[in-house]
Amino acid sequence: MSRAVQIQQPGGPEQLKIADVSVGEPGPGEIRIRHKAVGLNYIDVYHRTGMYPLKLPHTLGMEGAGMVEAVGQGVTHLKVGDRAAYASQPPGSYCEVRVMPAKTVCKLPDAISFETGAAMMLKGLTAQYLLKRTQPQGGLKEGDHILFHAAAGGVGLIACQWARAMGLQLIGTAGSDAKCALAKENGAAHVINYSTEDFQARVKEITGGRGVKVVYDSVGKDTWDKSLDCLQPFGLMASFGASSGAPAPFAPAMLAAKGSIYVTRQTLFTHIATREAAQEMADDLFAAVTGGKVKIHIEQRYPLEHVEQAHRDLEARKTTGSTILTL
């Protein structure tokens, strides 16, 4: 048996309930993992509210780290006793033990703790595919300006550090002076408090009127329109979330009027759809962390039984960096 956090129906944080669930043996292509720590991400809110529908009842959670307890037929990259971490579909990491697909589970280097592993996989792999695989026409070169919204969040703080290591001029936005200072400390070349400043005007000022090559946006509705106007001709709007709600529909001709710009909606799980891609991206992330280019900031820890409060704080934008649930 395992304790797990499940929802019986979509709704607010009060829908998160601890339940005892039975855990069986892994089938072909699966493993059983005993978690040491579990990551908290905004996609968990989308699942809880029904914005991303799940078959109910369902255990939430997209990332975790722990020890491999059993291995199913055909799994060759993991063995019993391995330290492991993952970001994976289907949801289900808010638990002590689970059986899950092995494809995107990676061996965790000894130099990385379980807590760090649980805090870094979904957010770190997201930063990896954004900065390395979601690039504007002609790619990104040292000295290029990019705009990154929610720069003090879990993905944002990793992106700030990684962008600095790549020689990029990251302009980070956040909702308070304290969060802006945190982004700056972690490598943002410039920071903008979007609650007190017009970020579009500041971006044009910072870039001498040229705009940025790419905008990375997980906020959505509240930042969408002005973000498009921050782009250079042929620039790229890379949407990867919608914490403020989905942007309004738009006519494709608008992209021409704004400088023949590109728009894409990305998701991590397309990028890690194969075992080979997942491992390649994880290896890049592990190297960035163990090599000191990226430090994973775990700013909040909640016991599993306090998951409701964790969700309330996440939605209220009270969190910075990464958040984990402890077991």
User: Cβ neighbours of residue 270 under 8 Å, at least 6 residues apart?
Assistant: none
**CA-based nearest residue to 22, from 98, 77, 129:** 98
| Domain range for 298 | 2-122+269-326
Q: What are the residue ranges in the chain where pLDDT is below 70?
A: none
Residues in the chain: 327
Query: What pLDDT score was predicted for residue 212?
Result: 98
Query: What pLDDT score was predicted for residue 276?
Result: 95
Residue 284 CA: distances (Å) to CA of 124, 166, 196:
10, 13, 37
Residue 49 lies in a domain: yes
One domain, residues 22 and 76: yes
Bridge partners of 39?
A: 324
Specify the pairing of strand 83-87 against strand 105-107.
Answer: antiparallel
Q: What is the DSSP letter of 108?
A: P
215 neighbors 149 (Cβ within 8 angstroms): yes
55-66 residue pLDDT tens: 999 999 999 999
State both tokens at 200. Answer: 């579009």
One domain, residues 72 and 160: no
Order of strands across the sheet that contains 169-174: 190-193, 169-174, 145-148, 212-217, 231-239, 262-265
Alpha-carbon distance 156 to 196, whole Å? Answer: 20
Query: What pLDDT score was predicted for residue 221?
Result: 95
**CA-based nearest residue to 222, from 205, 245, 240, 203:** 245
One domain, residues 111 and 139: no
One domain, residues 223 and 286: no
**CA-based nearest residue to 278, from 115, 60, 129:** 129
Q: What is the DSSP letter of 153?
A: B
Residue 127 lies in a domain: no
Exposure string over 38-70, b if 16+ CB within 10 A, otherwise e: bbbbbbbbbbbbeeeebeeebbbbbbbbbbbbb
State both tokens at 95. Answer: 């638990």
pTM of the model: 0.94
Specify the pairing of strand 322-326 against strand 231-239.
Answer: unpaired
Residue 161: CATH number of its domain: 3.40.50.720
Query: What pLDDT score was predicted for residue 283?
Result: 97
34 neighbors 43 (Cβ within 8 angstroms): no
Residue 83: CATH number of its domain: 3.90.180.10
Query: What pLDDT score was predicted for residue 186?
Result: 97
Residue 129 lies in a domain: no
Query: What pLDDT score was predicted for residue 145?
Result: 98
Bridge partners of 106?
A: 85
Specify the pairing of strand 63-71 against strand 30-40.
Answer: antiparallel
Query: What pLDDT score was predicted for residue 161?
Result: 98
Backbone angle region of 38, left / alpha / beta, with phi > 0 → left and psi within -120 to 50 → alpha: beta
SS3 260: coil
One domain, residues 98 and 118: yes
258-303 residue pLDDT tens: 999 999 999 999 999 999 999 999 999 999 999 999 999 999 999 9
Residue 143 lies in a domain: yes
Mark which of 216, 241, 265 sits at the end of a domain.
Answer: 265
Tally the domains of the chain. 2
Query: What pLDDT score was predicted for residue 75?
Result: 98
